[in-house]
Amino acid sequence: MRQSDLHGATKSPPPFARAPVAGAVFGGLIVLGCVAVSANSLLAFFSLGGLIIVGGGVIAVAFMSFPADDVHAALYAIAAMLREPDSTHHRMYRDMRNIMSWAHVIKEKGRRRLESGLNTTDLDDPLLQYGLNMVLGDYTPDEVRSMLTTAAEAQYERDSVPLDVLQAMASHAPAFGMVGTLVGMIAMLRSLDGNVAGIGSTLAVAFLSTLYGVTSARMVYMPAAARLRQQVESRSFRNTLVTEGMVMLASNKTPTYIQDRLNGFLPSAMRDYFNSLSNSEPQTTPRTMMPRLRAVGP
């Protein structure tokens, strides 16, 4: 997934999230605690050669296996792993309210009025732009569904490539750790007839590469892949809501019908409807009050 797809080209980075930061700190403390117990110095667990072999080898193989843009997106996902993800549910709620407002305009004034009203708006989401073009182009609901489903599936496939990059990096890291260990052991064997006293330190440095490979795979690449997978799946789910909304716009459904249909995509606490099974008042805007036409942000 491209960086601009997730956060927008002009947006500032989101703030750090508490849970992943706490997990990273806790995991780091566990590793450093084991180091402090088993060694007199933290420098005993530092090997520049091992870091270069593991880190450089993994990145080199990634660029050899995948397009450069997808590798850059995967590396960005590692950097963004500790930051707050986009609120997909709130974005879906905004999408639902905007689709309802567009349906209201179509019902009251027709599609041409909606088209003129959208000329001054700035729709940043490509799928929303594509869907509105289909609706305003007088395509049938089945045609709108078919084309938007194809666009959403193609976007899902593109967004999944950086996920494949991270999973490949996680599988390659332990292998390059073994490469570093073999290099260190070969260097140790070549020095057996020389300085025997240095064999212990050379062997320790050799095994550090394996430690780097396993640790980076489990604490960097795999968590970043899991976080990215959640974002890709959330975006795909949101695209399903947009597709359903555009199909109902093309079918000239009422705003109330669209609201009831799209509420099923939202968590129960965010659903905007009047609960006829309860005596309590609705928590959100009543059905009779349609939202005003406005621009949709990412």
d(CA 54, CA 214): 10
User: What helix, strand, coil percent values describe the chain, rounded to 5?
Assistant: 75, 0, 25
Start-to-end CA span in the chain (Å): 15
Distance of CA 16 to the CA centre of its chain: 15
d(CA 148, CA 239): 9
Q: Which residues pair with 83 in a beta bridge?
A: 16
pLDDT of residue 195: 63
pLDDT of residue 114: 79
Mean pLDDT check: name the lowest of 123-127, 232-236, 251-255.
123-127
pLDDT of residue 121: 53
Find tokens 């089945």 and name the residue: 142
Q: Give the three-state DSSP class for 49.
A: helix
pLDDT of residue 40: 64
Q: What are the structural domain ranges in the chain?
A: 1-273+280-298
- pTM score, two decimals? 0.74
pLDDT band at 184 (very low <50, low <70, confident <90, very high): confident
pLDDT of residue 129: 87
40-44, 84-88, 200-204, 232-236 — which one is most confidently predicted on average? 232-236
Q: Which residues contact 82 (CB under 8 A, 6 or more apart)?
A: 16, 17, 20, 21, 24
Find tokens 């050669």 and name the residue: 49
Find tokens 């956060």 and name the residue: 7
Mean pLDDT of the chain: 79
pLDDT band at 188 (very low <50, low <70, confident <90, very high): confident
